[in-house]
Structure 1
Amino acid sequence: MKRKTVDIITMGCSKNLVDSEQLIRQLEEEGYCVTHDSESPKGEIAVINTCGFIGDAKEESINMILEFAQAKEEGDLEKLYVMGCLSERYLKELSIEIPQVDKFYGKFNWKELLADLGKSYHDEFCIERSLTTPKHYAYLKISEGCDRKCAYCAIPIITGRHVSKPIEEIVEEVKYLVSLGVKEFQVIAQELTYYGIDLYKKQMLPELIEQISDVPGVEWIRLHYAYPAHFPTDLFRVMRERDNVCKYMDIALQHISDNMLSKMKRHVSKEETYGLIEQFRKEVPGIHLRTTLMVGHPGETEEDFEELKEFVHKAQFDRMGAFTYSEEEGTYSANNYEDSIPQEIKQARLDEIMNIQQEFAGKLSAQKVGKEFKVIIDRSEGDYYIGRTEFDSPEVDPEVLIHHQEGELKIGHFYHVLITDSDEFDLFGKII
């Protein structure tokens, strides 16, 4: 066992990852050696940053806690701490059920962990973090919480009201990250389009993205997790005018039938959704849209599902994910609807809708063959360098494979690549 070594394990989304990176920076300043998501943790202290979004994620987080609790019982671990969304929501219950954990922290009070280790939180490093991503890209969290209160979602219960970070603070963080070598920023929030309403009394996402875009050294800005209702349309202009703002939008639409949108409390209609997609493609030529859909929410009829299938056919999303409804206690859906759709029907609907998307994904990739793209190189793997275009976010989207025979490439550098072939998931290219 290594003394003064801390293993941090991050579960769930990239917003959690940012919190872990901030904690790592603070611990390193206090002289700790910190590993992140190590395959074989060997430190004297472990910190698990949990996810509490849906059933599968909660189960995964609990299993990870139990695994480390056993390691502590066997004498392989001295201290075990748990933080994050699951801990925020079920702090009392977890403390009783898993007493091997030395202390549970919520989503926002992880700074107390430092005090419990006899250390101080360094305010002067509040915008600093130790990146766990490749050094050329980083996630940039611009707000916490959510005011949308969709019927099925527990996030507002866990994280509370929407709280925007001031523009000046975000810009300073961007400058700091650029100084570390970051070129590409994945701008994240639970809901991007609400940014600024609490601080500035109006939607400020377009202005924020312009100010980030102005920072020297920022090569790519990619936007994640937008909401379709009351979309700030001035963002279209920013995406058109700014070369370093990727023509990419991650906008979770969840469903298309008016019946389901109403039951889900999405505050948007089928007609408005189709109109927004059309506006995106008209105002920002070449934009790639990523969305997330849900099947099996209470009240989803066969007719609703047929509408959703038709939507996937018509919209032809460049990127799409989907998941089955999971009842979350305390939500409007859990309190007011019966989760009566059998799991096998939910799964069959999920499989069907993803099969439709897979057909489109292959065709859309094939359309890129013979075209040139700016590609950033993420890593070397086997016989290939692995990169991405501006239309591909790390870990969730297709990649570009370039054979080592093309010559030596530098990780984190941009290259102009001719796409020579494609398969269902990825592109193949050669250096121009």
Structure 2
Amino acid sequence: MQKLYILSLGCNKNLVDSEIMLGRLSKYKLTDEPSEAHVLIVNTCGFIESAKKESIHAILSLHQKRKKDSLLVVTGCLMQRYRDKLMKELPEVDLFTGVGDYEKIDELILKRQNLFSPEVYLQSEETQRLITGSNFHTFIKISEGCNQKCSFCAIPSFKGRLKSREISSVVKEVKELVLRGYKDFSFIAQDSSSYLLDKGVKNGLIALIDELEKIKGIRAARILYLYPTSLSEALIQRIIDSKIFVNYFDMPLQHISDKMLKLMKRGSTKSRLKKLLNLMKAAPDSFLRTGFIVGHPFEDEEDFKELCEFVKEFHFDRISVFAYSKEEQTPAFNMQQISPKIIQSRLKILEKIVDESTEKSFKRELGQIRKVFCTGKSSEGEFFIAGKDLRWDRDIDGEILINESLCGTLEMGELYECEILQSLDKKLLARALRKIDD
């Protein structure tokens, strides 16, 4: 049996695409050693400059490690975005393809054929994925593309306009995964709250939630990447009222200054954002995640100060911060740029504030009784069992270290009631009290 090595870079939307390719390449044996592989695939990210560099470095590194007569395949967003340039500049690569042909990857490898279909790939009901990384949690991609026009973002230029999967397609996939033992689901897209708007349906996520709640076996679900202008108060309330969707609200804000929100073409004002956030925060056991960009053109000291004060005051649970990246095919590309030195200085200031905010979020958990999925071996070694708060998304929101159990040996993928005992270096220490049965 020939061996396959696959490297998935960037976001979890890319991970889903990689899992679709793995489903098509099931005849191969997976290996963690590039030097053993007959076929090596890099699913690239092309979102910002740092991601581009990471992708190029990964391609060249794998070329150095691979064995003679192996096939190096490069696919994904970076290839779609810089197709002509990279095909000329990367003679190390044997096969190129973009974001429209994940389900044809087996044919392309067999024929040794480059292919860039004009349409972005949208998962079908017949698609078979090989889920990686968990035996109980998986990501479900509900749409591709984006209709928003953010000044800093190039995604619509290579992912195209919004294309939503039918509700029936999403429901069928979830039902099949539940039968395979999956019980924890994260629903993702470039702009999740615009789901079905391309089909003329408003509040498509509400309709999806209604259908998903009819499926027996889902223990928890959450929605990632809500967009402020397409997010309704009705959707927030529907999530709060849901029996399976946890009160996890992931809404990247990018800024809070009205001037910057307008320049960034975010379509919302500070007052509307705060109204939405306050609705989310008022939900029982709510968990709020957001993201901000530092150094966008025309961000002055007052704008930055306003952002810092907002982050200090609002008490988000998790925050991602990014330095502005000048990207071709974006409105901000031709704006007067802020010096990299100033951007890095501001980034360090905001990162310190974010670290303090995150630490406070962890400390607020002390003494709480939480539902926790056992995820297996911890990052801290054999003396702890790793867990994930039922509300949290996989990998990005933290780790719970369980060092004591009142209910025997813990099983990976099972749900336990845990008492949070201590917060230590952005990790929580907990005692398992009892197993929560179906």
Distance (whole Å) between structure 1 residues aligned to residue 399 and residue 432 of structure 2: 15
Instruction: Check the 8 A contact 1:249/1:289 in 2, yes or no.
Output: yes
Q: Does 1:295 align with 2:311?
A: no
1:196 maps to which residue? 196
CA RMSD, 1 decimal: 1.8
TM superposition shift of 1:430: 0.5
1:34 maps to which residue? 30
Q: Which runs of structure 2 are paired with 1:283-432 in the superposition (5 Å)?
A: 284-335=283-334, 337-339=335-337, 341-381=338-378, 382=381, 383-403=383-403, 407-432=408-433
Instruction: Check the 8 A contact 1:7/1:41 in 2, yes or no.
Output: no
1:237 maps to which residue? 237
1:88 maps to which residue? 80
Q: Deviations over 1:14-59 (max 9, x none)?
A: 011111111111111xx22234xx2545111111110000001100
TM superposition shift of 1:201: 3.1
TM-score by length of 1: 0.92
One of 16, 37, 42 as aligned partner of 1:48? 42
TM superposition shift of 1:405: 6.2
Structure 2 counterpart of 1:342, one-letter code: S
Structure 2 counterpart of 1:354, one-letter code: E
Q: Residues 152, 128 of structure 1: CA spacing in aligned structure 2 closer, same or farther, 3 A cutoff?
A: same
Distance (whole Å) between structure 2 residues aligned to residue 168 and residue 411 of structure 1: 30
Distance (whole Å) between structure 2 residues aligned to residue 4 and residue 125 of structure 1: 28
Distance (whole Å) between structure 1 residues aligned to residue 34 and residue 230 of structure 2: 46
Instruction: Check the 8 A contact 1:128/1:176 in 2, yes or no.
Output: no
Q: Deviations over 1:59-89 (max 9, x none)?
A: 00011111223345xx445211111000101
Q: Residues 233, 405 of structure 1: CA spacing in aligned structure 2 closer, same or farther, 3 A cutoff?
A: closer
2:16 maps to which residue? 18
1:113 maps to which residue? 105
Gaps of 5+ in 1: none
Q: Secondary structure at the match of 1:231?
A: coil
TM-score by length of 2: 0.91
Distance (whole Å) between structure 1 residues aligned to residue 124 and residue 350 of structure 2: 49
Distance (whole Å) between structure 2 residues aligned to residue 294 and residue 56 of structure 1: 14
Q: Residues 88, 56 of structure 1: CA spacing in aligned structure 2 closer, same or farther, 3 A cutoff?
A: same
Distance (whole Å) between structure 2 residues aligned to residue 231 and residue 244 of structure 1: 19
Distance (whole Å) between structure 2 residues aligned to residue 380 and residue 67 of structure 1: 29
1:6 maps to which residue? 4
Instruction: Check the 8 A contact 1:186/1:224 in 2, yes or no.
Output: yes
Q: Secondary structure at the match of 2:38?
A: strand
Q: Secondary structure at the match of 1:118?
A: helix
Distance (whole Å) between structure 2 residues aligned to residue 124 and residue 323 of structure 1: 33
Distance (whole Å) between structure 2 residues aligned to residue 124 and residue 294 of structure 1: 34
2:157 maps to which residue? 157
State the identity %. Answer: 36
Equivalent pairs counted in the alignment come to 418
Instruction: Check the 8 A contact 2:144/2:163 in 1, yes or no.
Output: yes
Gaps of 5+ in 2: 112-122, 434-438
Distance (whole Å) between structure 2 residues aligned to residue 368 and residue 125 of structure 1: 40
TM superposition shift of 1:424: 4.1
Distance (whole Å) between structure 2 residues aligned to residue 148 and residue 251 of structure 1: 14
Structure 1 counterpart of 2:362, one-letter code: S
Q: Does 1:97 align with 2:89?
A: yes
Q: Deviations over 1:325-373 (max 9, x none)?
A: 00011111103x022x222221221121121122222222222211211
